[in-house]
Chains A and B, each alone.
Chain A
Amino acid sequence: MTSHNRTTFKPVPEDWDRKGLPAWSYHSPALFELEKSELFLTHWQIAGHVGDIPGTGDWLTFDLLGERAIVMRGADGIVRAFHNLCRHRGARLVDGDKGQCRGALVCPFHGWVYNTDGSLRGASRPDALGDFDRADFGLNPIELEIWHGFIFLRFHPGPQPSVATLLAPFDADFAGYRADTLLASDGWTWAETVLPVNWKSVRDVDNEGYHVAMAHPALQDLYGRTYRDDNYTNGISKSHATFGDRPARLWSVKRYVELSEPAPGSDERLHRVWTYYGIFPNNVIAFTPEGAQYYQDIPLDVGQTRLDGRLYRYPHETRRMRAARYLAYRIDRDTSAEDQQLSIWSNESMTSSAFEGFHLSDLEYGLRNHHDQLRRVLPVFRCAEAPDEAAIAETNRQMKARA
């Protein structure tokens, strides 16, 4: 581990450049290609939690920009990740969001059979395959790290350290939340949405709390006055707010504050707090005292982003915890709808000739922190004017070499 990739607290400077990223960077297909290869596929992505796949053979899938992963608990209980491609012709071995494989993965195309540890059990019509060593045809593994129960994947090696190192400042919080004990939520789930925006417009809205007082009446009612963003190196952040110190006015918030009940055994300092842990470039894990969720902005193309995530609960939750968790979900659902509209407006503003860039408040330093990390990974973000599309990759390469 080198000192430069350790995550450390980063206070808001006295004097800083309050501009955001250049408008062109939200609409450039060539830059999006760079983001794909040098950002998304080389940085950690959350694929789920071990509580999603408690039994042997349980699997879930995670697709990202042409790559597709299957995360499966093997017959030996070990969770592994593989490319969801048969080594014969590339067919999907499993289809859907999650499921259970019973003893073997059988390719639906020609019937090659894989063990739950990814090794090839055998090929159909082996007599027709010539000189063939099945040991050479196991499923291609994907780098996987489980941190406090959350499953992180990385499709290609990248500049981030291990998840445990990257998120070390939050280790005590996740232990305090007993995050490794979470179970998949039942009854209600994340409402997957596709927005007609560049993924950074979603992140820009989510990376600051300056807008809470104006745009999110329920959140403001719950915790508005206490909201804080803490920024860290490596583009990491923690946002947190306490609730219950004064009467709420909105129905769902009032009921939530009355019913909120922490998970048994969780750290007392987290009992009246909502926290959000931002994990560069596009992931957030959020906790309330009753449960947790993660959400992420999955880019589909330069102008389309899928909002996705999963919800979790604690084992043996009481009816009261469940009711509070539902109310928290309602508050989040409204907040997400409000944020989605803000993302659309922010993204479309950047095609206007009148758009002159952001002028960020100290309360929006989270954007700057995220943008700084983007500039480190892809220096071409520093170009105020759009380079020629055909030259973006080369410009970035040269800037990176100079850096």
Chain B
Amino acid sequence: MSDPRWTRSPEDRRQLRRLLGPAGLPGSGRLRYGAAMHFHGLGLIDAAVLEAYRLAATRDEPVEAVLAQHGLAFRPPDADALTPEDRLRTLLAEIDHYLAGLSGPGIGETRAGLAQWQAGPVRGIATTANAVIAEWLGPALGALCADEPALAQAIAAASGDLCWITYDGYGADIGPDFPRAHAFASLVGVEPDAAIAAQDFDLGLFLIAPHVLYRDHCHAAPELYAPLTGPHGWRFAPDAPLALLPAHQPIWNEPHAPHLTKVGPTPFLCIYAWTRDAEAPAAIVPARDWPELEALRLGPAT
């Protein structure tokens, strides 16, 4: 464990998360430089090292290269100084930043709910191995990395600290594939396994294996899907034709509005939010064409 002087206060922890953030991403250099300024104020980073962070910020490059150029021996704390709570809060910050760049129905509701609840205490939750996550989260993050590397890295870093659940409450009507081919983790929500408790609000990550059909269903909760991969097939009425929608196009399901997802060749990974009525159950909405849709293979992403 690193020097405890770096983590004396919640603000220190917040800044340490930024200081140890990945290099190479647009704007990441300024994040690290801003954090370095915090630790300079605490006397933990001297003026020469601070200047190295400033120089590294201009091109978002790793500070280590600049430190070496200037013959400075400084080593920032190791990443193991970061706790599961740090990784979760980094992930929530990245999710909020990602959502802030989207527009459409439900984004405002989701961000307002996140702002209301995310500062709450992080609960000690039991993490268990999940086969769907083990197999498909990596490929999903590989696809996401090209578009949103910071978010992909934050999910990867926190995924082992989350309680991933494969839900089995739908019964037989959900079909043969879905019950063993999906997993979700509540980050802020009403679920007992949510990392941070909330009332009547739930936000998390949702993963489904390639080609799986999530049959038509509905619920009282208004729901935001912010798909991080794509394209995937969608429809919003039973027996309607599928529409292929790309990654990063948010989908807002109004209360009781039926919706279906047919996963494409890339695993489906999304940020989901239920912005009210978060404890009301979901129900399957019958349709005639499920066998055909389950057999369907959508083409490769272009």
Query: Is the A/B pair a real complex?
Result: yes
A316: B residues at CB distance < 8 A: 109, 222, 275-276
In the bound complex, do residue A103 and residue B35 qualify as a contact, i.e. CB atoms below 8 Å apart? yes
Q: List the 3 closest A-B pairs by CB distance, nearest first.
A: A104-B34, A183-B108, A122-B37
Return the contact of B111 from the options A54, A106, A122, A313 (Cβ within 8 A).
Answer: A54
Q: Is A37 positioned at the interface, with any CB of B under 8 Å from its CB? A: no
A106: B residues at CB distance < 8 A: 30, 33-34, 57
In the bound complex, do residue B14 and residue A113 qualify as a contact, i.e. CB atoms below 8 Å apart? no
A184 to B114, CA, bound (A): 16
In the bound complex, do residue A54 and residue B57 qualify as a contact, i.e. CB atoms below 8 Å apart? no
With A100-B100, A126-B47, A315-B108 known as contacts, the answer to whether A113 contacts B33 (CB < 8 A) is yes
Q: Is B279 positioned at the interface, with any CB of A under 8 Å from its CB? A: no
In the bound complex, do residue B112 and residue A54 qualify as a contact, i.e. CB atoms below 8 Å apart? yes
Q: B256: shortest Cβ distance to chain A, in Å?
A: 11
In the bound complex, do residue B111 and residue A102 qualify as a contact, i.e. CB atoms below 8 Å apart? no
A126 to B41, CA, bound (A): 10
Q: B111: shortest Cβ distance to chain A, in Å?
A: 5
B280: A residues at CB distance < 8 A: none
With A102-B93, A103-B15, A113-B34 known as contacts, the answer to whether A183 contacts B112 (CB < 8 A) is yes
In the bound complex, do residue A55 and residue B115 qualify as a contact, i.e. CB atoms below 8 Å apart? yes
B interface, by DSSP: helix, strand, loop or mixed? helix
A interface, by DSSP: helix, strand, loop or mixed? loop
User: By the criterion of a CB under 8 Å from any partner CB, how many residues of chain B are at the interface?
Assistant: 36
B54: A residues at CB distance < 8 A: 111, 124
A211 to B176, CA, bound (A): 67
Q: Find the A residue at minimum CB distance from B40.
A: A122
In the bound complex, do residue B103 and residue A125 qualify as a contact, i.e. CB atoms below 8 Å apart? no
Q: Is A77 positioned at the interface, with any CB of B under 8 Å from its CB? A: yes
In the bound complex, do residue A186 and residue B104 qualify as a contact, i.e. CB atoms below 8 Å apart? yes
A208: B residues at CB distance < 8 A: none
With A103-B18, A124-B51, A318-B254 known as contacts, the answer to whether A113 contacts B109 (CB < 8 A) is no
A246 to B66, CA, bound (A): 74
In the bound complex, do residue B105 and residue A317 qualify as a contact, i.e. CB atoms below 8 Å apart? yes
Instruction: Please give the residue numbers on chain A whose beta carbons come within 8 Å of chain B beta carbons, in ascending order.
Output: 51, 54-56, 58, 75, 77, 100, 102-104, 106, 111, 113, 121-122, 124-127, 183-184, 186-187, 313, 315-319, 322
B104: A residues at CB distance < 8 A: 186-187
A113: B residues at CB distance < 8 A: 33-34, 37
In the bound complex, do residue B27 and residue A102 qualify as a contact, i.e. CB atoms below 8 Å apart? yes
Interface positions, chain B 93-118, Cβ under 8 Å from A, are 93, 96-97, 100, 103-105, 107-109, 111-112, 114-115
A100: B residues at CB distance < 8 A: 96-97, 100
Interface positions, chain B 251-302, Cβ under 8 Å from A, are 254, 275-276
In the bound complex, do residue B47 and residue A125 qualify as a contact, i.e. CB atoms below 8 Å apart? yes
A102: B residues at CB distance < 8 A: 18, 27, 31, 93, 97
